[in-house]
Amino acid sequence: MIFVLGIGGTFQYGYYMSVMNSPSPFIKQFINDTWIRRYGTSIPDASLTLIWSMVVSVFSIGGLIGSTASGHLTGKFGKKKCQLCITVLPLVSALLMGLSITVGHFEMLVAARFLCGFYSGLGINIHAQYVGETAPRKFRGFINTTGPMFVTLGKFCGQIVGLREIFGTEFLWPQVLLISGIISIVQLVALPFFPESPPYLLLVQGDKEGCQKALKQLWGDRDHQPVIDEMIKEQNTQMKGKSMGVLELLRDHSNRNQLLTMIGLILSLQLSGANAIYFYAYDVFREAGFPEDRIAYVSVGVGLFEFISTMICSLLIDRFGRKVLMLGGYSLMALTLGLLTVTLSMQKAFYWMPYCSVGLTFTFIFLYGAGPAGASIATCVEIFAQAPRVPAFVISGIFSWGGLYILGMIFPYIVETLQHFCFLLFLMVIVTSGTLIYFIIPETKGKSITEISQEFNKLTCRRKKMEAKPAAPEGVLCSRL
């Protein structure tokens, strides 16, 4: 079940993120050729840049809309039905891109990318909630980290498919989405054999018998009554299982700390410097002496390295806990960024300095995948009960996709202005994030939703006590008279 959900969920997001990088020159040439056929002249550079920016950025817009729609759809129809219904979108997007050259319309590329983003926005939220609600507490950390694991696997596969030996050629690039279409067919065939989320069946639909049947199918034929009793206890404390909207969650003080924690973790991941590392990787590898026609293969190695690191995270998270991995990862990432800033500043000083930069690049990617990337997502899934989880992921998606779009717009200007010193900005973000994680976020390893909520309530009580603490009385100075 984890594999079926993974290849149809976060895998597709990672694949869509990386598969368009290598064939981008051929796509721009196709846009120019289409323009010549229509207007008899080459496309102006400004228009080409605008259209290419639309092809790239419409993915984030589709993701934002899909993530926003996921709350209503999953709350009304459940995770399984939603995932089944949206599997048609990769097929449609693959068809649009495949036919774009045949009919000579680059607008079909924009539509295909929008559908890819819309599917990814829905798929990420559904995948995270589905696996989080079906995972046994003992293996909850491992199962929740499969989301980031399949993202990195999708990136890796997208990089391979985009190589010129496969689909990264002038004539084959329209078929790059064919793989995602085939994968969606696999999920469409396999997913009906798996049950709906047990908490959704019990707390939303009130189907206790269906919940028991789903638990037996997922966890084996044994006594699951304690798990059901815990769900009912959660139901009695969380709005009796009724669906909660985004506005209701924003007004709900009992989940305020959890919501702020989720937003903080998502923003920390986006501003941790991983995108900057990938942006600078080409220059780092070139300075180290790698031929330019071989750098694409080195980038594939980086993708494989990131995938391996997320696998290691999934093996460590239930042993060491989420907080330890986040704190350790961010601490070592801050040190790595500091050293990388130094080595990039001294690239010409010593012949061996570029190799240090390459090593630090791989080190940062490993630390990011083995620590915060997986542990942060697992924490976000675990800190919410059934009722607020759906709108919480809608809000998380808005910040994630909106931040991705904004960062993509302003990041080139940051790099142009600060060059490699932009890593110092990300270093400060990492240090701030690590400090907040240490003092604010509780450990969720092996704890129920009720226990985690109590930990956040203690934080609220401590803050209220500090605010209500009376000020020290002012001293009165007087003489003996």
Q: How far is CA 153 from the centre of its chain?
A: 13
pLDDT, averaged per 10 consecutive residues of the chain (481 residues), comes to 88 89 85 91 88 86 92 86 92 90 88 94 91 86 91 92 84 85 91 90 85 89 84 68 78 89 91 78 74 80 91 92 94 93 85 87 92 91 86 91 80 78 89 92 86 80 59 47 37
Residues, the chain, total?
Answer: 481
pTM for this one? Answer: 0.87
- Interhelix angle for 295-320 vs 322-345, to 10°? 150
What per-residue confidence (pLDDT) applies to 461? 65
DSSP label of 195: P
Per the CB < 8 A criterion, the answer to whether 32 and 45 are in contact is no
CB under 8 Å to 376, separation ≥6 — which residues?
Answer: 265, 266, 268, 269, 322, 326
* Nearest residue to 445 via CA among 148, 145, 147, 149: 145
Quickly count: other Cβ atoms within 10 Å of residue 390's Cβ.
26
pLDDT value at residue 466: 59
Nearest to 25 by CA among 158, 160, 164: 164
Neighbours of 170 (CB within 10 A): 11
pLDDT at 479: 44
∠ at Cα 183 (180, 189), nearest 5°? 145
Per-residue pLDDT at 298: 85
Helices 322-345 and 422-440: crossing angle in degrees, nearest 10, is 160
Residue 410 is encoded by which pair of tokens?
Answer: 């302003």
Q: What's the CA angle centered on 129, arms 221 and 64, to 5 degrees?
A: 160
Tell me whether residue 230 is exposed, middle or buried, using C-beta atoms within 10 angstroms of its C-beta: 0 to 12, 13 to 18, 19 or more. middle
Q: What are phi and psi of 135, to 5 degrees?
A: -85, 135
Residue 18 CB contacts under 8 Å (≥ 6 apart), including other chains: 154, 155, 156, 158, 159, 162, 303
Predicted pLDDT of residue 403 = 81
Complete domains list, the chain, with CATH: 1-194 (1.20.1250.20), 243-451 (1.20.1250.20)
pLDDT of residue 242: 58
Count the neighbouring beta carbons within 10 Å of the beta carbon of residue 239: 17
